[in-house]
Amino acid sequence: MPRVTSSGSSRGKRAKRLFSEAEDEPSPPPKEVHDTTPVASSSISKGVFAFPGPQRRQRLQAATSGQKQRKRARKATPSAQSQSSGSASPFERSWTTAWTRFQTWQSDMFADVLAALRAFIQDAHPLGQPLSSTMPTAAFLTGVNLPDHGALFGLLAREIRTRVTPHVASLSAQKHGGVNLKALVQSTVAKLMLIEACERDDEESEMEVGSSGLALKKQNLMMPTLRTWYANQYPVGESRVPLVIILEDFEAFSPTMLQDFMISLCEYATALPLVFVFGIATTVSMIHQRLPYHISRHLAIEKFSGQKSTQLLGKLVEALYSDPQVGCKLGGKTLDRLLEMFIMNDFSVKRFLLGFKYCMFEHFSRLPPPVIALCGGDEQGRKDHLNNLKSEDLDQIRYLASFRRYVESDPQNRARLLTNDGLFREEVIMLLGEIDGHFKRFQLCLRALFWLARDLHGRPFGSQIYSLYRCAFLKPVCQTHEYRDVFDILKLLNPSELMKKMEAHGECLIDSNDESIEKSSVECQRIISKLSAFLKHGVQNPEGSPTIHDKQKVTEPNDEKDIVVKSPKIKKLDRFELQKNLLKQTQEKRQRTVPFDDLRREVLDYFHNFFRAFSNLPTSLPLHEILFFDKVSLVHRHLMPAPRAVIQSALDDPGFYLEHPDLLVNTKAEIPNSYPDLNIIYKLHSECGRLINLFDWLQSWVSIADCDDEENCSDETIDPLQQAKFTQGVSSLQFLGFIKPSKRKTDHVARLTWGGC
Amino acid sequence: MPSSLRKRASSQRQTPSRPKSPSLSPPRVLPGACVSEGSMGGVRRALQVRFADETRVEPMRDHLGLSSAKIRRKIQARGASHQVGSVWAHQSEAEADPVEDEDSASADEALAMYGKYRIPEPRARGDLKGSQVFGFKTPAKNRHAPATRRPMTKTVHEKDNAEAYFEAHGTREIATSDRTLARLKNPRLSQAEVEELLTNEPLKYQAEIDLLLQDYRQKFGKWYELLQRDFNLVLFGLGSKKALIQDFQCEMLKEQSVVLVNGFFPSLTVKQILNSITGDILASSDTFSSVPDQIAFIKETLNHEAEEAIFLIIHNIDGSMLRNGKAQTVIAQLAEHPKIHLICSIDHINAPLIWDQEKLSKMNLVWYDTTTFLPYTEETKNENSLLVKDSGKLALNSLTHVFASLTPNAKGIYTLIINYQIQAIEELGGPQNYQGISFQELYMKSRRSYLSNSDLTLRAQLTEFIDHKLISIKKGSDGMDYLTIPLGNATLNDFLELQR
């Protein structure tokens, strides 16, 4: 029975006092005297408290009268959650789109390897032959990104269940690694024998299993049971359905348990058609490290490797930007942060998506409600929506920072845009359409650039398109040094390579129906034809096209003359002369223009103009706030925070949080006694070395805190109140992990952090 | 001169063994006084110059011991003119310098050292005494102008962590004073005393903290929405967040099923959390053989459409009992379910280390900085703190609780011990001479009143008492076990009253 201790209630009082002023509008919740009031949450005998909701409370009362009522109640009340999900908000719509995209692509991407695995399992135990003593094993290399693997193995298990065999046991160290060997075997057998949920009651634990009609208790779920069950289920010679055991995270199982498990299964290698799938995050040699030879010799291992998650992410990022269903697009800095999390931390596409989900949430909750409907959707929808908006609602759009800037830069229409709603509506439609159009071109430009740079030496823009997005969203891509690198390399390409690039680029542009893109497309075709003509001539006439010949004629006579003139001099072997001549010759060579140079310059100029035209940041257009989310500080604060830094800065500088003139002390090195107690104690502590003498600490605390009563204090007697405050402060620091007790010296504590305050 | 000081000085002069002379240590040397040493290159160099002159050092050392108080006064007085660096330029007393005595030369030396070694901080009181002696007035203590403690060195702050680490671990010796809390008249307060003293103490900056909390309370709606969208919340930052979360619960989750966990509770287990969910919320009377089974059951039950969501509130998810990987795995698996919403708080500076990528991706956390500056009263109560008197004292209410759960026989035995102890202490005239009831005697007594029939059963009972810290057991000089209850007679009488 929970009992509130005396200090607990006093604390409660303090909290109540704290909130009494704040709680004006929503009246404070009535504090029930019931046993389950939220107030009764501290006790010296209990650490967990349950407060069932009203619906549950009813059911709890009903539960005493019987289980049947409970089930009825369950059916009767419709779920609140399903109702709320009926109306799809832009957030829900965007999120479900993104999530389904992710899932379908994941299954697409792994389709090949899954099919290979399936075929492997199907052919593992051919029907006619007797079972060999080696068990077929698939080593499935998944890569290090563990968080995504749950979905992957779910997919695999589903695939095998539907296509090959219903008997699949998927084990993960997360769920089953903590238990002992017996429990592991039991759950494996239960899963293979298709016993659904594990038994809870004694009555329920005896279950009918398949057609065999065996009554089984959990204790009996052992390998011999499995063997007899299998012999009953699939008599020898009729059919041979493999039993598949998947170890999702092979490395995470404890080696000893894994070895014991494998040994016990090896015993049944000739009796049961077992097939293993090991999910391996590192390398295949892990199997040999974990399983010694006497076990691994029973395994016939075949290697399968999955796709890298970076590929999936590349696809996903592009889709998130191009899908009109997703009403929120990430701005440059936000994308940068999320990608940083992906690359530096976990390689998990799922977590990237969850980060994206958070951004979407913030985006939609921060936009003023009338604006939300403008995210995504077609032009007609937007028009209808805008026409329904009242003047006040339109003002909310006018308040957007980028629109204000836009209006201020256009003094002629300023007054009309701000007062005339009709005009403003048209303007908004126009601007949004402009963003859409520009963004489409922008994407196309990025795709073209990516194709251009994809197989260049050194891959200046990375191997996946997301890294290009990352660059291009931060500043116009033409200003980046990667872009310059690309062009430096392009300069070195030979005509046929350049031709290939041009053709690929032309294909990129063909699908577009945008006006300005079409213009470039025409230009592109013109250059392609020029290039192909050049190539044709080049192939027919290895010495060069007529133009080359002409130009050579212009320059050659000089050379001949030089040579004629020089030839007698050469005999003299004047080294300086020779050097001079050679220098001259090379310079001339450099100046000599090859016709391909002109053509190449034309091609590169074309590329450069193309990219420069379309690579303006979409986030620089007016009204971009409606479509783009770029509040990177939020991502920083709420997804990748630094809790320790926050605590330390609060301790260092309380004025940062508490706005009080006394706390605005500029010099960091001072310890004013106006600081909160804990801050003073922390600051004193941070001046110390490895060990802190409690006595001295206490004395210096008193010297700061207790400057009021000078007379009656000495080293030996200390005001109990100050001592209590100090005690509380030291406990808090210990609780926060700044200090710990030390046995090296009496009454000393050890510091756990370094550096001064 | 403090011994640590001297050691430092000698080590700088590269003379390893210098005889230690008995010296007075100044009254309040800050522990670890030499932290700032490494960064104070300039001062050190200056000191080296001075110390290089052996002849000057020796007399100085002689003087230093007897005149530390004067030096301090001088330091105070001359603060502005003799600063080391420019770090401590203030104090109006600097204008007057009446302290010119025979120690002035050594005092000057000490001034230089002051920047290097922290000679005790002059308390405000000390200043006053000095001024009284020498007849000038200290500035009136102004409550509004914060009395500041003068900084030691500026450079302390410019050091980075790595440097500070190696500095702290560079020396084996511990450069702190040898004084212990035993010097105090009342070295340690008990938990109860601390609580009593602090109950009526007003919180500093109450109004500002209220503002902060008000800020956080405005986010409640957003938090609730985040929870609804399968995010889970972590609150971090300085100060107890218990009240804030509790408020959130009162305001937003009144109509919801909530499981509240005090992560700082010392004997918390994951099993308790799971049992609370299955037993109290899902109203299942089943027992589960393993944790995975129980989690599977919870998830399966919640998958039913009609089941409403569960809000799992964990104060201090980094509490000592939940810190291990297993517990966090279980919590992560629970939090992963779309119908279980987790709201938790962390306080330990290394708390984020309890989660790996896998758990983080399952938990899908959104972090909120909720620095409250509220005291960790409840959280630290259970921690056996350094300064709290560890008397093993058993509060009356905990005794009543444990007692209520005992069997009638055990209750009888315990009452026997209580009665014996009260009587014996009264007869002996104080608890000092009371050795305890011997096991044999207790056995005889309990057999006589039909409370136990064998040696073994009695021992089993006693083990239970010991486990709950109801009694303590000690070997006497005669090799017998003596049992005492770690409570005073008054408390025991109260307890007996309560039982009647």
The shortest CB-CB distance from A689 to any of B124, B175, B349 is to B175
Task: Give the model's pLDDT for residue A71.
Answer: 42
B494 vs B477: CA distance, rounded Å: 32
| A21-30, A293-302, A303-312: range with lowest mean pLDDT | A21-30
Question: What domains, with CATH codes, occur in chain A?
Answer: 111-306 (3.40.50.300), 477-559+580-614 (no CATH), 643-751 (1.10.10)
B217, pLDDT greater than 90? yes
Task: Give the model's pLDDT for residue A187.
Answer: 84
Chain A residues close to B188, C-beta within 8 Å: 727
Task: Give the model's pLDDT for residue B131.
Answer: 33
The 3-class SS string of A39-80 reads CCCCCCCCCEEEECCHHHHHHHHHHHHCHHHHHHHHHHCCCH
**Global pTM?**
0.70
B121, pLDDT greater than 60? no
Q: Chain A to chain B, count of Cβ pairs less than 8 Å apart?
A: 484
**Residue bearing the bigger pLDDT, A444 or A72:** A444
Confidence grade of residue A647 (pLDDT, cut at 50, 70, 90): very high
Task: Give the model's pLDDT for residue B187.
Answer: 73
Mutate to test the interface with A, among B285, B334, B371 (most CBs of A within 10 A): B371
Tell me if B260 and A756 make a contact (CB, 8 A cut-off): no
Dihedrals phi, psi of B383, to nearest 5 degrees: -75, 135
B181 vs B186: CA distance, rounded Å: 8
| A196-210, A500-514, B311-325: range with lowest mean pLDDT | A196-210
Mutate to test the interface with B, among A188, A350, A735, A753 (most CBs of B within 10 A): A735
B94, pLDDT greater than 70? no
**Mean pLDDT, range B291-310, rounded to an integer:** 87
Q: Which of B461, B439, B440 is nearest to B452 (CA)?
A: B461
Task: Give the model's pLDDT for residue B112.
Answer: 39
Task: Give the model's pLDDT for residue A217.
Answer: 66
**Residue bearing the bigger pLDDT, B21 or A523:** A523
> Which residue pairs from B425-431 have beta carbons closer than 8 angstroms and sit at least 24 positions apart in sequence?
B425/B489, B426/B489, B431/B488, B431/B489
Task: Give the model's pLDDT for residue B3.
Answer: 40
Most confident segment among A324-328, A618-622, B200-204, B215-219: B215-219
Distance of residue A745 Cα from the nearest chain B Cα, in angstroms: 8
Task: Please state, as a whole number, how many other Cβ atoms lie within 10 Å of the Cβ of residue A682.
Answer: 26
Tell me if B292 and A716 make a contact (CB, 8 A cut-off): no
Tell me if B181 and A694 make a contact (CB, 8 A cut-off): yes
pLDDT, one tens digit per residue, over A62-104 is 665 544 444 444 433 333 343 344 446 778 888 888 888 888 8
Structure tokens at A28: 């404070």
Task: Give the model's pLDDT for residue A717.
Answer: 77
**Mean pLDDT, range A671-688, rounded to an integer:** 87
**Mean pLDDT, range A450-471, rounded to an integer:** 87
Closest residue in A to B368 (Cα) is A638
Confidence grade of residue A668 (pLDDT, cut at 50, 70, 90): low
The proportion of chain B whose per-residue pLDDT surpasses 70, expressed as a percent, equals 64
Tell me if B161 and A15 make a contact (CB, 8 A cut-off): no
ipTM: 0.79
**Mean pLDDT, range A152-176, rounded to an integer:** 86
SS3 category, A217: coil
Confidence grade of residue A572 (pLDDT, cut at 50, 70, 90): low
**Residue bearing the bigger pLDDT, B461 or A24:** B461
DSSP for A350-396, written as a single string: HHHHHHHHHHHHHHHHHS-HHHHTTSSS-HHHHHHHHHH--HHHHHH
Confidence grade of residue A513 (pLDDT, cut at 50, 70, 90): confident
B420 vs B496: CA distance, rounded Å: 13
Confidence grade of residue A736 (pLDDT, cut at 50, 70, 90): very high
B159, pLDDT greater than 80? no
∠A70-A72-A77 over CA atoms, to 5°?
Answer: 100
The shortest CB-CB distance from A49 to any of B157, B186, B260 is to B260
Closest residue in A to B249 (Cα) is A38
| A176-185, A586-595, B43-52: range with lowest mean pLDDT | B43-52
**Mean pLDDT, range A712-720, rounded to an integer:** 69
The shortest CB-CB distance from B184 to any of A348, A654, A716 is to A716
The shortest CB-CB distance from A728 to any of B198, B296, B351 is to B198
Tell me if A643 and B258 make a contact (CB, 8 A cut-off): no
Confidence grade of residue B113 (pLDDT, cut at 50, 70, 90): very low
Mean pLDDT of chain B: 69
pLDDT, one tens digit per residue, over A413-434 is 888 888 888 888 888 888 888 8
| A106-115, A713-722, B260-269, B272-281: range with lowest mean pLDDT | A713-722
Tell me if A49 and B176 make a contact (CB, 8 A cut-off): no
Tell me if B366 and A708 make a contact (CB, 8 A cut-off): no
| A9-18, A238-247, B399-408: range with lowest mean pLDDT | A9-18
Q: Is B373 exposed, middle or buried (0-12, 13-18, 19+ CB in 10 A)?
A: buried
B51, pLDDT greater than 50? no
Which CATH code for domain B200-369? 3.40.50.300
Tell me if B152 and A703 make a contact (CB, 8 A cut-off): no
Task: Give the model's pLDDT for residue A65.
Answer: 57
Distance of residue A657 Cα from the nearest chain B Cα, in angstroms: 7
Confidence grade of residue A58 (pLDDT, cut at 50, 70, 90): confident
Residue with tokens 């959390």: B273
Task: Give the model's pLDDT for residue B219.
Answer: 92
The shortest CB-CB distance from A80 to any of B185, B308, B371 is to B308
Q: What's the length of chain B?
A: 500
B214, pLDDT greater than 70? yes
Domain boundaries, chain B: 21-134, 200-369, 396-499
A138 vs A155: CA distance, rounded Å: 16
B202, pLDDT greater than 50? yes
Closest residue in B to A734 (Cα) is B385
Confidence grade of residue B4 (pLDDT, cut at 50, 70, 90): very low
**Mean pLDDT, range A587-592, rounded to an integer:** 72
Task: Give the model's pLDDT for residue A538.
Answer: 62
Reported CATH class of domain B396-499: mainly alpha
